[in-house]
Amino acid sequence: MFIGRRNNMGIYFNPGNGSFTEDKNSQIYVDKTELLKFLNKRLKTNGKCIAVSHARRFGKSHAAGMIDAYYSLGSDSSKLFEDTKIASDPDYEKYRNKYNVIHLDISSFFDDYKVNLIEKIVEYIYDDITDELGDTLDYKKKLSYVLMKIYEKTEIPFVIIIDEWDCVIRNSNDQALVHKYLQFLHSLFKSEESKSFLALGYITGILPIKKIKDESALNNFQEYTMLDSYPITEYYGFTEKEVKDLCEDQAMDFETIKAWYNGYLIDGMHMYNPNSVSRALERHKVDSYWRNTSAFGTINTFISMNYAGLKEDVLAMLAGEKVMVDTECFQNDFTEIHSKDDALTALIHLGYLGYDKDMLSAYIPNYEVSKAFQSALKSGSWKEIAASISRCDELLIATINKNAEKVAELIELAHETYTSVLKYNDENSLSCVLTMAYFTAPAYYNIIREMPSGKGFADFIFLPRANAGNRPAMIVELKHNKTADAAITQIKEKRYQGALSGYKGKILLVGINYDTEKHHTCIIEEY
């Protein structure tokens, strides 16, 4: 017989609600508890095993802490959830704090125990179980058997949560360890014993489940990824409405936040990186809050791969374009990158590229990520482009100061740099060149880019955002084999009333022309 349950909560077995409590007490908190409604419907069904693979800092661990708080017998979370969305659900009380929960963060074990990883995981779980239930079980048996016996005696099923589940896959070249690890997961989620005790399996990571020949350890999981996470997309990351509400509450300019952190188009929803948004709102300062994550160093690894067309695609994306990508062949393993499409798909899963499912294309989602790419370009075959980007601030200052000669010089340098990759006289490529020349301008401006029409080239309108200070609005027109005066005249004739309607500040008109000899001239007028 079991010793009666004790009041102490465990770390791995029946954890408390401390993690979710901290989240709710934070300055920036967004209610994502309706995810629990989704999970409740899958308890003890053939859809009970769920794998969520999203980029770092997208709320996966926060969700895991919320799941602990809701299901675990290790705490009474009635007061914690009483003012949340899930509390109004008819089934709310039915499942709250009614389950044995096991919660593991594989990365914390992998850091310390690479040789005997599985043995140490089991040891720590058994220690927690013993503390709570006593030593009446045979702990020499495998974990799934022990969990089955607990279920048989208590009739309380298990919810098993594994954070950073893919840590071993991403970081180990030891195939024997990978196989052993996958078999361990199989015993928890797909064994005969698990059929009795498992109510819900919830695993999170960066990578989708690895495609391994003849390996069926995790093929019973329903997957939700950066490519497709319907119908739970809104629970990972912040929605646009949530960010608007937060900006209003924290007295921050939404358009500025949008430019820096928007851009992840997942199942048609515009999603924001919650970590970056939260830190920007807490500090009242937009910045690149993601650049120091452990995944950052992989950007340079992937973009430096010498696959045909990769450099052109990366440059096109840096210039604001979308590029086609085939995500189907990716093996869900960062060590098995065999093509341009594999490299781009890996960057999508890491959150360094967005993915348009309808257009089957990748793109750089926002200015924060653009800055991460900017830093990654400073080595290898990208040094020339990185040097050109480093001149962008100088170009912007020269434009604002109406230094037309300097602007012409810097645009000419940008043209020479970028058209070594892009076709020199392709109209859209010329538009890309101008985007790259003003690469750092989105830090302060909302840039409206008009697509080429007829024989004319793209117009650019730079609208200052709230954080732009005294920087003026700018209209930039690029002409070929005409004159800078002609560019200014065209700007005036078009007038751009729609884009600048209601704007009361200073406006600069910037006309740039280049001739057949690739010589650039510029005229800047105040409007």
CB 280 within 8 A of CB 261: yes
- The pLDDT value recorded for residue 196 is 96
Q: Which residues of the chain are in CATH 3.40.50 domains?
A: 18-234
Closest CA to 418 of 400, 441, 438, 399: 438
- The set of residues, in sequence order, having a beta carbon less than 8 Å from that of 14 and lying 6+ positions away, is 72, 73, 74, 100, 101, 128, 132
pLDDT in tens, 133-154: 888 778 889 999 999 999 999 9
Q: Going by C-beta distance under 8 Å and a sequence separation of 6 or more, which residues neighbour residue 90?
A: none
Of 407, 411, 417, 415, which is closest to residue 385 (Cα–Cα)? Answer: 417
Q: Please identify every stretch of the chain with a pLDDT value under 50, giving residue numbers as ranges.
A: 1-7, 294-295, 424, 451-458, 497
Q: Which residues pair with 238 in a beta bridge?
A: 272
CA 460 to chain centre: 28
Burial profile 453-477: b = 16 or more Cβ within 10 angstroms, e = fewer: eeebbbbbbbbbbebbeebbbbbbb
- Residues 232 and 217 sit within 8 Å (Cβ to Cβ): no
Give the Cα separation of 396 and 469 in Å (integer).
Answer: 14
Whether the CA torsion 273, 279, 285, 287 is positive or negative: it is negative
Is the CB of residue 203 less than 8 Å from the CB of residue 51?
yes
User: Which is nearest to 62 in space by CA: 29, 34, 14, 109?
Assistant: 29
Separation CA 217–CA 144 (nearest Å): 14
d(CA 217, CA 94): 31
Residue 518 pLDDT: 79
DSSP 8-class letter at 115: S
Give me the sheet containing 238-239, strands edge to edge. 238-239, 269-272, 264-266
Contact 204, 162 (CB under 8 A): yes
- Show the 3-state SS of 128-178: HHHHHHCCCCCCCCCHHHHHHHHHHHHCCCEEEEEECCCHHHHHCCCHHHH
Q: Are 289 and 309 in contact (CB under 8 A)?
A: no
* Cα dihedral 255, 256, 260, 262 in deg (nearest 10): -20
Q: Give the per-residue pLDDT at 455.
A: 43
pLDDT for residue 452:
45
Respond yes or no on whether the N-terminal peptide bond of residue 365 is cis (omega within 30° of 0).
no
Our CA dihedral for 396, 397, 400, 403, rounded to 10 degrees, sits at -100
Report CA-CA distances (Å) from 377 to 390, 468, 482. 11, 26, 35
**Residue for token pair 């645009």:** 411
Report pLDDT for 498.
Answer: 56
| Core vs surface per residue 394-424: b (16+ CB within 10 A) or e | ebbebbbebbbebbbbbbbbbbebbbeebee
Radius of gyration in angstroms for the set of CA atoms belonging to the chain, rounded to a whole number:
27
Domain 18-234 is found in CATH 3.40.50:
yes
- Mean model confidence pLDDT for the chain: 88
Phi, psi (degrees; rounded to nearest 5) at 158: -110, 145
> Is the C-alpha dihedral spanning 318, 372, 438, 443 positive or negative?
positive
| φ/ψ (deg, to 5) at 46 | -75, 0
Q: How far apart are CA 351 and CA 366, in angstroms?
A: 11
How far apart are the C-alpha atoms of 396 and 394, rounded to whole Å? 6
- Per 3-state DSSP, the chain is made up of helix, strand and coil in percentages (nearest 5) of 45, 15, 40
- Listed residue (301, 304, 322) closest to 313, CA to CA: 322
* SS3 assignment, position 62: helix
- Give the pLDDT score at 260: 94
Task: For residue 141, give both structure tokens.
Answer: 């048996």
Q: What is the pLDDT of residue 211?
A: 63
Q: Find where tokens 């086609």 sit.
A: 324
HSE of 468 in the Cβ direction (CA atoms, 13 Å)?
25
- Cα angle 67, 114, 181; round to 5: 60
- The pLDDT assigned to 9 comes to 63
